[in-house]
Amino acid sequence: MIKINEHYLKLQASYLFSNIAKKVGEFQQSNPEKEIIRLGIGDVTRALPEACTQAFHKAVDEMAADSSFRGYGPEQGYDFLREAIVKNDFQPRGADISADEIFVSDGAKCDTGNIQELFTQDARIAIPDPVYPVYLDTNVMAGRTGEFEDGRYKGIIYLDATKENNYVPGLPEEKPDLIYMCFPNNPTGSTITKDELKTWVDYARENQALILFDAAYEAFIRDESLPKSIYEVEGAKEVAIEFRSFSKSAGFTGTRCAYTVVPKECAAFDSKGGKQLIHPLWNRRHCTKFNGVSYPVQRAAEAVYSEAGKAQAKGLVAGYLNNADLIATEIKSLGYDFVGGDNSPYIWIEAKRDSWEFFDMLLNETGVVCTPGAGFGKCGEGYIRLSAFNSYENVEKAMARIKKALA
Ligand code: PLP
């Protein structure tokens, strides 16, 4: 008899975005004349940088001729992209990462979800709350948690991000083996300083733990004193894996290209306490289960690092940050407390009431869609997330309506 993996039955159905879609659909039906403005989404809205589409087209043309056609590429990614990544994303920030430590993939979602396969079933997992749900759900699937009770899975060490700690969790009382971190954070938009990050790196080193650092939003960091990579912190290469993506930095959400950094000295331990390097294990996993990102997509990603591509991608990010500034200014003028928006596309607002109640009020009175914080974890209750991923015109219109409704 074929039996299922019953850990899947523990998963909470993700009601968040389906519930939002249902409520928006109902609102639209009863108010067909009202224009809806979506500030709930975490998806980019502006076109790819022109340098990327040009490189994309050129690479597609190469695929159309036998003489320049390419079949399977290296699973880890083409050298031209891996070298451009280290030269532009790490070396200028003093992070000593080499091209063969970069694993190109089709998404930080897949990588942050798949990485847990490398670790033992009884690894103790620390996960922030609120959180990008992939970290939690993939560990539930793998059987590293108990049942879901009172809004939380048993067996997980939750790292509360609250107003009291400025949305940067402190070190946990219980000792974790694997620690998930995300800065700039989704959903809160909070950032971490180099000193705070060093505390975590030192903790991981002292406790034989490993940090999984999701830097999918690093491109939004404007404050030069903030770390973009965990490898800017001394000693991080032994205890941290970093995830990056072209999704938000260059509009690749629909094009799909990302990468994971596994430094050669990064290690975990076997059952006898012996040091085991992670690089060969991730390489083995990657080559066994993944056949590489398509050649034209990797050429498009490489073009992000051309002079024109850099300027255009920067322009995209600056546009979203400009939206975030407007949202932050207006929310502040309304007297609401919030975090994020300065170095992130997300603004996390204290709703002063139940987060779904605030969502309903905003939708019904203004036609603006936000994301209720409760959908990201227990600590998200009482908050909403506004996203800067929209046109400036729409953000202006949305904020004018919100101001009128909340003033
Ligand atoms: N990590 C975080 C924190 C995200 O918010 C997202 C997408 O919203 C991702 C990863 C996914 O990135 P990708 O598009 O590369 O799969």
Same domain, 178 and 228: yes
The per-residue pLDDT for 163 is 96
Q: For residue 214, list its beta bridge partners.
A: 182, 243
d(CA 106, CA 298): 10
The 3-state DSSP class for residue 241 equals: strand
273 Cα: distance to centroid of ligand 1 (angstroms): 33
The 3-state DSSP class for residue 37 equals: strand
Q: What is the CATH number of the domain that holds 157?
A: 3.40.640.10
Same domain, 126 and 193: yes
Residue 70 DSSP label: -
Same domain, 88 and 214: yes
In-domain check, residue 59: yes
d(CA 341, CA 185): 11
d(CA 294, CA 256): 9
Pocket test of ligand 1: the residue of 41, 105, 106, 186 to mutate, having most ligand atoms within 8 Å of its CB, is: 186
The per-residue pLDDT for 295 is 98
Q: Model confidence over 40-76: pLDDT tens digits?
A: 988 999 999 999 999 999 999 999 999 999 999 999 9
Q: Say how many residues make up the chain.
A: 407
Nearest atom (ligand 1) to Cα of 110: 16
Helices (H), 236-386: 246-249, 278-289, 295-302, 307-333, 355-366
pLDDT (average), residues 250-277: 97
Nearest atom (ligand 1) to Cα of 257: 15
Strands 102-105 and 258-261, bridge-based pairing: antiparallel
In-domain check, residue 2: no
Residue 306 DSSP label: S
Nearest atom (ligand 1) to Cα of 42: 8
HSE-CB for 401 with a 13 A CA cutoff: 21
Does ligand 1 have an atom closer than 6 angstroms to the CB of 251? no
Residue 294 DSSP label: -
Q: Which of 265, 270, 207 is nearest to 240 (CA)?
A: 265
Same domain, 35 and 68: no
115 Cα: distance to centroid of ligand 1 (angstroms): 14
Same domain, 400 and 344: yes
Nearest atom (ligand 1) to Cα of 185: 3
In-domain check, residue 70: yes
How many domains does one find in the chain? Answer: 2
Q: Model confidence over 185-232: pLDDT tens digits?
A: 999 999 999 999 999 999 999 999 999 999 999 999 999 999 999 999
Q: Tokens standing for 244? A: 């990056």
Q: Model confidence over 97-107: pLDDT tens digits?
A: 999 999 999 99
Same domain, 225 and 103: yes
Among residues 307, 333, 353, the one where a domain terminates is 307
Does ligand 1 have an atom closer than 6 angstroms to the CB of 368? no
The 3-state DSSP class for residue 1 equals: coil
pTM: 0.97
181 Cα: distance to centroid of ligand 1 (angstroms): 13
Same domain, 263 and 357: no
d(CA 258, CA 216): 9
Q: For residue 190, list its beta bridge partners.
A: none
In-domain check, residue 225: yes
Of the pLDDT bands very low, low, confident and very high (cuts 50, 70, 90), residue 16 is confident
Among residues 257, 274, 307, the one where a domain terminates is 307
* Owning domain of residue 253: 53-307
d(CA 400, CA 407): 10
Does ligand 1 have an atom closer than 6 angstroms to the CB of 130? no
Peptide bond into 187 cis (omega under 30): yes
DSSP string, 267-288: EEE-TTS-EEEHHHHHHHHHHH
d(CA 398, CA 392): 10
Same domain, 217 and 100: yes
Does ligand 1 have an atom closer than 6 angstroms to the CB of 128? no
Same domain, 26 and 12: yes
The per-residue pLDDT for 152 is 95
Beta strands in 54-141 (DSSP E): 102-105, 125-129
Among residues 307, 326, 354, the one where a domain terminates is 307
Exposed/middle/buried for 62, CB within 10 Å: 0-12, 13-18, 19+? middle
Same domain, 29 and 165: no
Q: What is the CATH number of the domain that holds 380?
A: 3.90.1150.10
Same domain, 319 and 298: no
Instruction: Label residue 341 left, alpha or beta by phi (over 0 means left) and psi (-120 to 50 means alpha).
Output: left
Pocket test of ligand 1: the residue of 103, 131, 132 to mutate, having most ligand atoms within 8 Å of its CB, is: 132
HSE-CB for 232 with a 13 A CA cutoff: 19
pLDDT (average), residues 172-196: 98
Task: Say if residues 347 and 324 touch (Cβ distance below 8 Å).
Answer: yes
The per-residue pLDDT for 383 is 98
Task: Say if residues 166 and 196 touch (Cβ distance below 8 Å).
Answer: no
Same domain, 72 and 29: no
Does ligand 1 have an atom closer than 6 angstroms to the CB of 107? yes
d(CA 369, CA 383): 14
Pocket test of ligand 1: the residue of 16, 248, 252, 304 to mutate, having most ligand atoms within 8 Å of its CB, is: 248
In-domain check, residue 331: yes
In-domain check, residue 22: yes
In-domain check, residue 281: yes
Pocket test of ligand 1: the residue of 16, 45, 105, 109 to mutate, having most ligand atoms within 8 Å of its CB, is: 109
**Those residues with Cβ within 8 angstroms of residue 175's Cβ, 6 or more apart along the chain or in another chain:** 124, 207, 209
In-domain check, residue 97: yes
109 Cα: distance to centroid of ligand 1 (angstroms): 5
